[in-house]
Structure formats: structure tokens, C-alpha cells
Structure 1
Amino acid sequence: MFQARSVFSDDELLMLKRKSQWRAAWMIFHAWAVIFGAMAMFVLWPNPLTFIAATLIIGARQLGLAILSHDASHGLLFSNMKVNDFAGTWLTDYALFGDMYAYRPYHVAGHHRFTQQKNDPDLGLTAPFPITRSSMRRKVIRDLTGQTAYKQKAALIRRAFGNASMPASQRLAMGWKRLHGAIVTNAIIFAILAATGHWFLFFALWVFPYMTFHELVVRIRSIAEHSMTPDNDDPMRNTRTTHANWLMRALVAPYFVNYHLEHHLLMAVPCYNLPRAHEILLAKGYGPRMETQPGYAAVLALAASMPELSQMQAAA
């Protein structure tokens, strides 16, 4: 089991664990400002290129909201836990039909405790890789055409409203209890856009990016973090840090999510301090032990590296 004090000094750990309330507030504001700014870009210059650009930017920033909620699930956004949990639900996760309160025990007590072990609840997300290029292409097409999101969200809504044999009033009460956050936050987004005279943006540049590009970047994130790691029993090699340039940080890896190895080693460290943790590890000579990749293109190439079946094998 990894012991942080065997690598980091007490002063380093104190510095890395220090929270900035202003930084947390800024990241939440930044995420929403980028989302509404991308919508404004399309309104000011309506054409296919700005629509595509806005879809990519908003889909990635929706992942950013999920990442900030993830930090909140660890209690890392704000020192006051009531404020922290409000930010991790009403200001971020609920808008994406997430449930931080259900995610927190599953993620912290499950995934972090049993990373890449048979008890890891996320193991099914990473186990299938590597796959063939044709299989990867089919997954990407399903993501970008909304098939993945439709399947997942339809199942989520069905579960929320319980069994069809239950009384209608009980099903409605159960559905409201489980989905009220998503319903209210999305209604607020719709109301804000409608008040500006652009209600259609809710469907065109909130729902559409969420159902398409957002699903693709969620998949890429999942693959990069744990798939095809070389040693499931080594905490420096059973997860991965992926280097990201400015474009990848904007479209695939917002809010330092690419520093996933450091997050697993130090899950009490806010996301904005993870780059510094990475620098300390390199300075102390741990670089060769750490599982890293030079970029997301390299990770995806690795994920799609399984040879295609021959025509005869495929027909068998």
C-alpha cells in the first residue's frame, strides 16, 4: 500500500493539500462562463463552424463540471462541507444528471480502495481494452451519434422511476426524489436561455453536446486513466498520467484531470495542486516508475492496438 510520507515530506504534503476557496469558486465560474461564452459565440456568428466549435467546447466543459463534482466528492473544493457538497451537486453534477452523494461511497471506498483489483467497481470500464481499430471506430460513432448517451440515460430514468408494477404515485415520488436536482438545474438553464430570447440553445448547445461529444471525452478519459496499465498491483503503474497540451486541456482534459496517477497517490490533494505533485515526483527520481503517456493520441493508439481478425476468423 502506498504511503505518501515515504515519498513526500510533511511540508510538501501540507502545501499540496492546501485548499484555495477562491480557486475552487473560480473553476466553477470558469466552467459555466466557457459554456455560455461558447453559446454566445454561435449566436454572434451563426454558421456550421461555430456550431461545431461550440459543441466541442461545451461537451468538454460538461466533463469539466463532472470533474469538479468529483473533487467535491473527495471534499476538496471547499473546506466547509455544506458549501462543498452544494457546489458538487447544484452547481455541477445535477446539471449532468449525476448524483454525487451516490457516487461518493462507490468511488472513494470502492474504486480508490481496490484500484484495478477484482473488487474495483470501475474494472468493467477498463478491462475490455485493447480492442481493434474497427471496434474503437464503432464506439466513437455510437458516442458521437448519441446512441451511447440515449442508452445510458434511458436506463437511468427507468431505474429512477422504479418498477412498472408499483403504483403511479409511488413511482412519481421516487423519480422526483432521485431526479429533482437534474430537473431543477436543467430547468434553470432553460429559463436563463429563454430569458435571453434563445431558448433553442438549450437543445442545440446544451443537450446536443451532452448527448454527443461529452460522451466521447468521457470515454477517452476513462480509457486514459486505467486501461492497459502495466501492473495492477503497483500504485504507480495501475493508473496513468497523460500529458496534455493546451488544446487537449481545452477539449479532453479540463481542470487537471490528466494527472490521474497523482490523484490516486494523493487523493486528498485538490486538482489544481496535482501538477506540482507531478513535478515533485519527477524531481525525486520517480519518473521511470510512473505510468505516463505523452498524449491522448498515444493512449488511443494503444487502446486500439489489437490486430483485426482475418476474414476467415471473423466468419468462423
Structure 2
Amino acid sequence: MSTARINTSELLSPSQLAEVRKRSNLRGIWLVLHAWGVIFGSMALFVWMPNPLTFLLAVMLIGARQLGLAILMHDGAHGNLTENPKLNMFLSQWLCAYPMGAETMAYRRYHLQHHMNTQQENDPDLILSAPFPITKKSFRRKMIRDLTGQTGYQQRKSQIMNALALGGQGKEMSAKERALHYWNKLGRATLAQVILFAILAASGHWYLYFALWVLPLLTWHMAITRVRNIAEHAMVPDNDDPFRQARTTLAGPLARAFIAPYWVNYHVEHHLLMWVPCYNLPKTRAYLIANGYGDKMESKKNYLDVLRMATSRPDDEDGPGKLVHNARRRVAGTFDEGFSSAN
């Protein structure tokens, strides 16, 4: 069963609605340029001052902006990134989705099911929040797998094998059919990787592609994506209440830089008004609070609070549960649909 819907005219006044739903071509372009500026700037910082500290800083900043590219792709999937639809799709696909190995329209088809059935049995992202709470030991194991690249490697391996149609009916494909299947699944994403490698090679620093693009993608990006998934829907108070079936986590400057880029933390607001551009979500929250809805919205003051709650299961109950195993398998199996996380 789908959850109850709220008429947006009940939440905001006509003037407030008109203000928060405005989309800006310049703002959308700026956000995409900002993400890539931070990525290339972090690489340049390491080249200028090569040491363990600048390398670690670059990995974390780039991993966070890689998540940022996925967030901007998500906005593009909603048609929110820019006012011009063609520009919205170009930015979302070529500068956000393809570099991340995703595809905007495939993600959109998957993701809209999440919005239509949030926290219900047919929510495709329910499996990401259902296993919680877990134990601290379980969470540590997950973070170790994320930060050592094991999770990212398994997801990308599954994605590539699926694109190559290895296994199942794919065994009967001809070489031409297999090549076409790969192109349809990952061809443009592969081209984006080649372009990125060529840019770095032309700068005289080809190794940065592996050290400061692939490595952050497989490590820090995976870890903070897990934290974000937990924060958005794990252990929400009421699966049937639009104000309480998602969570907004307040984030300061450091959290926004390293964990929650581009206002991704405003998740209740996004679910209430999914056509609001990410850059208008803070204003949307301010209006909702001013209109008397602040106490109704599920919120946490920071990500540590969320993780404490999500890891509240006693350690003596630790053990690999069937639901957790299925969740891990489901995420790996759906990664090629786009950006496999709850937005």
C-alpha cells in the first residue's frame, strides 16, 4: 500500500511554493562546475604538496564530491537541476551520471518507485533501511569493507559482469550482441572514464585517475553513501506518515564538505516536495517550520546521533542475519540501474 499524500498547497502558501520550485540554469551549471572544481582542485593540492595528509584530504573531498555528482544526477532525474530540460539532461548524464557509472533515466524509473511507495513493502529501497538497528560490531565490519574498497569492488564487478552479459542467457550471445549489450549498459559511462583519464594524462599526471578518482570512488564514497542511506530512512518513527517516513539530518560545514554535499541531508523536505531543486531545500525547510510543521518532521541534529540510534542493537545479538545478507545482495544486483541508494 502506498503512503498517504499531502497536498502541497496545505504545506506552503502560493508565493512560497512559487519561490521554492524555481529552477535556475545558472545555479545548476554552477553546482556541477563546483563539484568538478573541488575534484580537480583536490588533485592539484596533492600534486602541489604531495604528502599523506593532502592525499587523505583529497580522497575524502573527492569521495564526497563523487557523492555530490550522484546527488546532482538525482536532481536531474527529477528534472530539477536546471530550468531548461535539455540542459538538465545533458548535465545530469554527461557530467554527473556517466562519470559515476550510472544512467539518469534508468535511475529515474527505479527511483520514482521509491517515492511512490516510500517505506512500504513495494519500496525498492526498503531493503536499505529494513535491517536496522544493527550492532556496533556489524557496523564496523561494514565500514571496514567500505573503506578498504571491498564493497565498491563487488558492486563494480557485478555491474561490469552484467554489462558484459556474463552468465545466464548471455552465454549464448555473439560477440557483436555482447558488445552492443555492453554499450547500452555501460558504453557511455566507459567513454566518460576514458575522457577523464585522457584529461589527467594530458596534464602529465595520469596516475591521478587511479589514485584520486578510482580509489575515492571505491572507498570514501562508498562509506559516506552508506551513512547517508542510514540517515535517510533507517529506523524512522512512522512508515506511513509523510513527515516521519524519512529523516532530515542537520549538517554543519564539515559534514557538508565530507559527508552530505549539495543539501542531500534535507530528506523529509525532498519527499514532501520532490520537485523542489536541491538548492531550494533549506528555504523549503524554513518555510515549513514557519508554517508550523517543524515538530512534525523527523529530524536529527547530526549524523552521529543517527549512527548511535542505528547501531543500538546489543553486541551479544551480533550475527549475520538473513535480511542483512539479502540487502547486500540486492544493492549489488541493482547498482547498474543508476545510483542504487535511497534518495
Shared fold by TM > 0.5? yes
- Please report how far the alpha carbon of residue 285 of structure 1 lies from its aligned counterpart in structure 2 after TM superposition: 2.0
* Aligned match of 1:225: 232
Aligned partner (choices 8, 17, 20) of residue 4 of structure 1: 8
Checking the alignment, whether the CA contact within 8 Å between 2:81 and 2:277 is kept in structure 1 is yes
Secondary structure of 1:309's partner? helix
* Aligned match of 2:155: 152
Secondary structure of 1:229's partner? coil
* Aligned match of 2:139: 136
Say if 1:308 and 1:171 are closer, same or farther in 2 by CA, change over 3 A: same
* Aligned match of 1:16: 20
- Once residues 202 and 224 of structure 1 are traced to their aligned partners in structure 2, the CA distance between those partners, rounded to angstroms, is 30
Aligned partner (choices 49, 53, 68) of residue 64 of structure 1: 68
Measured against aligned partners, the alpha-carbon deviations of 1:234-255 in whole angstroms (never above 9, x if no partner) come to: 0000000000000000001100
Q: Does 1:188 align with 2:191?
A: no
Count matched residues. 312
Secondary structure of 1:142's partner? helix
Secondary structure of 2:172's partner? coil
* Aligned match of 2:123: 120
RMSD of equivalent CA atoms: 1.3
* Aligned match of 2:326: none
Q: Which amino acid aligns with 1:68?
A: L
Unaligned runs of 5+ in 1: none
Secondary structure of 2:108's partner? helix
Mapping of residues 295-306 of structure 1, within 5 Å: 295-306=302-313
Aligned partner (choices 202, 213, 216) of residue 209 of structure 1: 216
- Please report how far the alpha carbon of residue 130 of structure 1 lies from its aligned counterpart in structure 2 after TM superposition: 0.8
- Please report how far the alpha carbon of residue 39 of structure 1 lies from its aligned counterpart in structure 2 after TM superposition: 0.2
Q: Does 1:263 align with 2:266?
A: no
Q: Which has the higher contact order (CA 8 A, sep 6+)?
A: 2
* Aligned match of 1:274: 281
Aligned partner (choices 62, 86, 91) of residue 95 of structure 2: 91
Measured against aligned partners, the alpha-carbon deviations of 1:208-240 in whole angstroms (never above 9, x if no partner) come to: 000100001111111111111000000000000
- Please report how far the alpha carbon of residue 190 of structure 1 lies from its aligned counterpart in structure 2 after TM superposition: 0.6
Unaligned runs of 5+ in 2: 321-343
- Once residues 310 and 194 of structure 1 are traced to their aligned partners in structure 2, the CA distance between those partners, rounded to angstroms, is 50
Q: Which deviates further from its counterpart, 197-206 or 184-193?
A: 184-193
* Aligned match of 2:180: 173
Aligned partner (choices 183, 195, 198) of residue 205 of structure 2: 198
Secondary structure of 1:257's partner? coil
- Once residues 31 and 159 of structure 1 are traced to their aligned partners in structure 2, the CA distance between those partners, rounded to angstroms, is 29
Runs of 4+ with >6 A deviation: none
- Please report how far the alpha carbon of residue 310 of structure 1 lies from its aligned counterpart in structure 2 after TM superposition: 6.3
Aligned partner (choices 284, 290, 302) of residue 283 of structure 1: 290
TM-score by length of 1: 0.96
